[in-house]
Structure 1
Amino acid sequence: MPVTSVEKDLDALTMTVVADFPVPVHRLWDAYADPRQIEKFWGPPGWPATFTRHDLAVGGRSEYVMTGPQGERSGGYWEFLAVEPGRSFEVRDGFTTPDGAPDAELPSMRMVYDFEPTDTGSRLTTRTYFPSLGELEQLLSMGMEEGLTAAMGQVDAVVADLASFAADLPAAAQLLGDTQVRVSRVIRGPVQTVWDAHHEPALLRRWMLGPDGWSMPVCEVATSVGDSFRNEWERDGGGGRFGFTGELLESAPPRREVTTERMIGTEGPAAVNELTLTPVDGGTLLTLVVTYPDTETRDAVLATGMVDGMETSYARLEAEVLTPA
Structure 2
Amino acid sequence: MLLEFEKPIVELESKLADMKQLAVDSGVDVSDAVHKLETKIQSLKVETYRNLTRWQRVQMSRHADRPYTFDYIHEITDEFVEIHGDRNVADDKAMVGGFGRIGEQTYMFIGQQKGRNTKDRQERRFGMPNPEGYRKALRLMRMAEKFDKPIVCLIDTPGAFPGLEAEERGQGEAIARNLKEMFSLKVPVICIVIGEGASGGALGIAIGDRVMMLENTWYSVISPESCSSILWRSWDFKEQAAEALKLTADDMHSFGLIDEIIPEPLGGAHTNIKAMARTLSDTIHKAFTELNALSPEERIIQRIDKFSNMGVVQEA
- Shorter-chain TM band: under 0.3
More helix by share: 2
